[in-house]
Amino acid sequence: MHRQRIRHPKFQERVVSAEEAAALIKDGMVVGMSGFTRAGEAKAVPMALAERAKTHPLKITLMTGASLGNDLDRTLAEAHVMTRRIPFQADPGLRKAINAGEVMFIDQHLSETVEQLRTDQIPGIDIAVVEAVAITEQGGIIPTTSVGNSASFAILAKKVIVEINLSQSETLEGLHDIYIPSRRPTRQPIPVVSPESRVGFPFIPVDPDKIAAIVVTRKLDSSSTVLPPDDDTRSIAGHLADFLKLEVKKGRLTNELQPLQAGIGTIANAVMHGFIDTPFHGLKMYSEVLQDSTFDLFDAGKLDFASGSSITLSQPRYEQVITDLARYKHQLILRPQEISNHPEVIRRLGLICINTALEFDIYGNVNSTHVGGTHMMNGIGGSGDFARNGHMSIFVTKSIAKDGKISSVVPMVSHVDHTEHDVDILITETGLADLRGLAPRERAQTIIANCVHPTYRAELTDYFNRAVARGGHTPHLIEEAFSWHNNFRLHGTMKP
């Protein structure tokens, strides 16, 4: 069966076992692997690498698009294979190794990694390992459920290993749009002018001589771990819908809105799902990860088109979408992450960007990554690419975490990913704060009035009033600004 998928006449003889392919990876190498939010990652070669490291230790720098499925980040961390990891992860095992200082994690805007590689600002890729549906007659690589950084990794690498995954549907062929920007400073504008724009090839063009090994696999993508909507996420979705309806009423948007971007995880997925119960229609997405909610919106007739860099679905949705892919295909494009997340395109298309915060402060600074200011959760991912450049930057979160022991709205965030200058709207289940056009003192008042859980509102009001009495453009009690985090560290609750 794999012979139909390896169409280049010379490539049949390059088929080897995963162990043989993994043997090409040597100690000290920089390896770029496919994989983006648990979709389309190379599966057999990293497993073989982790196995080999048990008896023959080695260390590599591992770059991917984003997080890996099939517990690969955990397996590689446990095998002590990674000395450095770039640019995103979401695995509890790897998180532990990063927070213990065992793995050096470079938490990077997802649009930036290949720009830095292309200009030799970071060490170049020795070997790329890319999962594919097929290889064309000319040697072009057809990716699977994600594009991520795979195209540039393969183009820039000295050698390429291709994993042909027979469990990935051949109907994926034709879904991808591989456009690689030319070199700076003479780069031409990226010709994406709408989510539907097709501007590249349906395969990754690589020099056939660089394909050093082909491995045949059958392992499925892991399903997503998002939880279904709950009362809080339904309230957040409701506040967003009411706000957007008002924007339409004021003539600032139409019922088709503007292309939507939604972040990863349970909350963003649930908020997007909420668009089903709104008057908005003819919607389009220009996003990064396409989760279950994208297909819920297609099925509800609300969404016309979705452009992303990966498709990451729950188990039942995955089976249904893959079976019915021919039905959805004309409404979908998968692009390299530097194009899905490109500041130029995001600004041009005027995206409405919805991402999730861990915590935000009374002035609108957002922390998406660091628990307690020190411990990495997942990484900034694409949230900064979108928040800085979108038409409207919205952050959502529940007002409390860990059964109310943590307030997600704090005097001062313990780590800043998105500054007050990049944040327009904040939403929790208690309400929405529209920060546009407001000065810091005004922002604090609207955030405290609308977004704070009732059990923390009086304390936060008291903090703000005492800070204002002391003065300043952005008033703070510097000695108290992190006292809520300190309380949690010492007593297991932020409550004074």
Residue 181 or 263: which CB sits closer to ligand COA?
263
Residue 136 or 309: which CB sits closer to ligand COA?
309
- State the CB neighbour count (10 A cutoff) for residue 344: 15
User: Nearest-CB residue to ligand COA?
Assistant: 265
Q: Rule CB under 6 A: which residues touch ligand COA?
A: 263-268, 288, 355-356, 358-359, 368, 371, 377-378, 380-383, 401-402, 406, 408
- Which amino acid, one-letter code, is at 342? H
Closest CB 471 distance from ligand COA, rounded Å: 29
Structure tokens at 292: 């279950």
Question: In three state form, how does the secondary structure of the chain look?
Answer: CHHHHECCCCCHHHECCHHHHHCCCCCCCEEEECCECCECCCCHHHHHHHHHHHHCCCCEEEECCCCCCCCHHHHHHHCCCEEEEECCCCCHHHHHHHHCCCCEECCCCCCCHHHHHHCCCCCCCCEEEEEECEECCCCCEECCCECECHHHHHHHCCEEEEEEECCCCHHHCCCECECCCCCCCCCCCCCCCCCCCCCCECCECCCHHHEEEEEEECCCCCCCCCCCCCHHHHHHHHHHHHHHHHHHHCCCCCCCCCCEEECCHHHHHHHHHHHHHCCCCCEEEECCEECHHHHHHHHCCCEEEEEECEECCCHHHHHHHHHCHHHHHHHEEECEHHHHCCHHHHHHHCCEEEEECCEEECCCCEECCEECCCEECCCCCCHHHHHHHCCEEEEECCCEECCCCEECEECCCCCCCECHHHCCEEEECCEEEECCCCCHHHHHHHHHHHHCCHHHHHHHHHHHHHHHHHCCCCCCCCCCCCHHHHHHHHHCCCCC
Closest CB 299 distance from ligand COA, rounded Å: 22
Structure tokens at 225: 């771990």
Residue 150 or 397: which CB sits closer to ligand COA?
397
Closest CB 363 distance from ligand COA, rounded Å: 16
**What are 178's strand-pairing partners?**
201
Select from 192, 180, 147 the least CA-distant residue to 347. Answer: 192
Residue 97 or 270: which CB sits closer to ligand COA?
270
Residue 5 or 284: which CB sits closer to ligand COA?
284
- Which amino acid, one-letter code, is at 390? G
Determine which one of 288, 338, 359, 420 is catalytic. 288
Closest CB 4 distance from ligand COA, rounded Å: 35
Does residue 288 have an active-site annotation?
yes
Closest CB 381 distance from ligand COA, rounded Å: 3
- Which amino acid, one-letter code, is at 425? I
The alpha-carbon radius of gyration of the chain (Å, integer) is 23
Closest CB 466 distance from ligand COA, rounded Å: 23
402 is in an annotated binding site: yes
Closest CB 402 distance from ligand COA, rounded Å: 5
Q: How far apart are the first and last CA of the chain?
A: 65
Rounded CA separation 273/283 (Å) = 13
Closest CB 59 distance from ligand COA, rounded Å: 26
Structure tokens at 413: 């965030």
Closest CB 469 distance from ligand COA, rounded Å: 28
Rounded CA separation 278/285 (Å) = 16
**What are 426's strand-pairing partners?**
395, 433
301 is in an annotated binding site: no
Rounded CA separation 73/85 (Å) = 9
437 is in an annotated binding site: no
List, as residue ranges, the binding site for CoA: 378, 382, 402
Catalytic residues: 288
List, as residue ranges, the binding site: 378, 382, 402
